[in-house]
Structure 1
Amino acid sequence: MKTLQVPDGIGEENKGNVYIGKSSPPKVYNAYKKQFKMDFSRFLRLRCEEMKAGGCMFLILVGRSIPHPSTSKYFFLLWDLLAISLMDLVAKGLVKEDALNSFNIPCYTPLKEEIREIVEEEGSFNLHKLETFEVNWDLREAVEIGEENIVMNENQDGKIVSDFVRAIIESMLVHHFGETIIDSLFKIYSNHIAQHLCFHDPQHVNILVSMTKKVDIIEKY
């Protein structure tokens, strides 16, 4: 089952972006939010069918800490920089502009409050813990806890972060754009991330969710 998918009908509405960007119209944000609510509600219902009454479930989701994702300084920047990298390939004639405009990332970074609302409205689980914590894009935390043999620089950080994103999204990019551009794309992407890290110390927000299946929920199914 696909727990997340691109909302229907946003294609040309989101030109030059691969997620919710500063130039995205409100329609795009609202479509992503609506799609996430449907997908996450279905995820909860299906997990409920698999679990015993009183069973525990722990989730860690990538989220955000401010109301609108296009003004976030967190995870969406990874997708913004990916869009810029694809536009570089458009300028070189390696990617068609129409192909870029029709590509959107099938994910949504929710607020903690949105998670609470969906869990409570769906009704299968009792919510026990809902917390956020921040995680660095790079390996600086490893240095801080004593891994002194790691020599850090922005280029290395850029490659580490781009490889992380590549592991998540490469198959989707290959399906949409073809395999021939992938190495060039991620080399450009790595450079953009490295440049960003020269002037910023970016983090993304994770949401920790702890809940148990309601004892009386068996009657629901």
Structure 2
Amino acid sequence: AKNSSLQKKASDMVKHITLETIQELYLTTTRKSLGIADLGCSSGHNTLSIIKEMVDAVEMTSRKLLQPAPEFQVYLNDLPANDFNAIFKALPDFYKELKKGRGDADGVPCPSIYIGGYPGTFYGRLFPDKCLHFIYCSYSLHWLSMVPPALYDKQGRSINKGNIYISESSPTQVCEAYYSQFQEDFSLFLRSRSHELISGGRMVLIFLGRMAASNHLDRGNAFFWELLSRSLAILASRGEVEEEKLDSYEVHFYAPSKDELEDEVKREGSFEMDQLEMFEIEKDVGNGTSYGTAVAMTVRAIQESMICHHFGFGEGIVDSLFEHYARLVDEEMAREEIRPITFVTVLRKL
């Protein structure tokens, strides 16, 4: 999945944290069976590659302990519209890859892995009580469960006219509405996972955030939405988008600050934050792709269906929109670097 190139790069940068966490979990529990969930797994190659690396890491630890590797129960979750079939079709190759260097002839038994798809929103319960030991969630939690209802007045008109996210011209109620929705969603996420994880279970969560608690207008994440807003305005100036529809479109996104994250974890009370790291992704995405194009593909993958539904766009206009967007991102990058902030946090179930 090309649209995941930036996510893959970011996940690779913190892979050591993910693998160290699952190894430590296994060391402290040495169970015969490990339940692992990938929440918001998407349908690309990234999903199975990180699962394979987790299996390899646990297996290596089990060999050091002179113990047989545990069985792995892997739960792949995403929204029902996700193409789970793409993952399932990739499974034969995944199992084939897993068998390399393993088997009776090599003296290394192949671990038992049972993989299933679990469609549904992670803002709520997904799995039975205490069936999971490890949860991995990469680049999903900055998407809110919905556009904050408080962004609309009693007549259903947006109070954030001319913007699709928090911007300089947004009234303070807009920041409050987004933050309130984040609090509601993230606490529900934590509460739901607290039932599904065993005591001592771990979560590795990777998502976009922002530097300053007091400033929502960082040049890291909010700015990308500003540029998408400008791209839509270009189409509006050509009569390809109705102004009224542009005024009523908002994104269901929120980049929390470090303090906001810590506050929610403390407030919900089921988890201890073992680690919280912040990092920036370098703009070089490789493959001869411009950074703007990579960003546009990533945003399009999430936003396209909502944009098409809201504006009634056909594919041609969507192509045009994201071409403008990619160009604006590249132009801005040439002026001054935009480096989105990513957080990775490790939570331990109390």
Instruction: State the TM-score, normalized to the length of structure 2.
Output: 0.55
Moved beyond 6 Å, runs of 4+: none
Query: Please, which of 20, 29, 45 is the counterpart of residue 175 of structure 2?
Result: 29
Q: Which residue of 1 aligns with 2:284?
A: 139
- Of structures 1 and 2, the one with the larger relative CO (CA 8 A, separation 6+) is 1
- Count of residues in correspondence between the two structures: 202
Map Cα deviations across residues 36-91 of structure 1 (whole Å, 9 max, x no partner).
00000000011111111111111011000013444311111110000000011111
Code of the aligned partner of 1:201:
E
SS at 2:253's partner residue? coil
The C-alpha deviation readout for 1:175-213, integer Å capped at 9, x for no partner, is 211232211111111111121121112101111111111
Q: How does 1:1-221 map to 2 (within 5 A)?
A: 1=121, 3=123, 4=144, 5-11=146-152, 12-136=158-282, 138-139=283-284, 156-180=290-314, 181-214=317-350
- 1:147 is matched with none
Could you say which structure has the higher helix fraction?
Answer: 1
67-76 or 188-197, which deviates more: 67-76
Inter-partner Cα distance in structure 1 for 2:307 and 2:214 = 26
How far 1:132 sits from its partner (Å)? Answer: 1.1
Q: For residues 16 and 33 of structure 1, do their structure 2 counterparts lie closer, same or farther at Cα, with a shift above 3 Å needed?
A: same
How far, CA to CA, are the matches of 2:240 and 2:215 in structure 1?
Answer: 29
Percent of aligned pairs sharing the same letter: 38
Deviates more, 1:198-207 or 1:79-88: 198-207
- DSSP-derived class of the 2:219 partner: coil
1:113-170 CA deviation, whole Å, 9 max, x = no partner? 110000010011111111211113x326x6xxxxxxx667xxx232222112111211
CA RMSD of aligned residues (A): 1.6
Note the C-alpha offset of 1:171: 1.6
Tell me whether 160-169 or 30-39 shows the greater mean CA deviation: 160-169
Is residue 166–residue 217 contact of structure 2 (8 Å, CA) maintained in 1?
A: no
**Partner secondary structure for residue 55 of structure 1:** strand
Q: Distance in 2 between matches of 1:151 and 1:32?
A: 36
Amino acid at match of 2:151: I
Contact between 2:278 and 2:344, CA under 8 Å: does it hold in 1?
yes
Question: Measured at CA, do residues 2 and 96 of structure 1 come closer, stay the same or move farther in structure 2, by a change above 3 Å?
Answer: farther
Q: Which runs of 5+ in 1 are unaligned?
A: 143-149, 215-221
Q: TM-score, normalised by structure 1?
A: 0.86
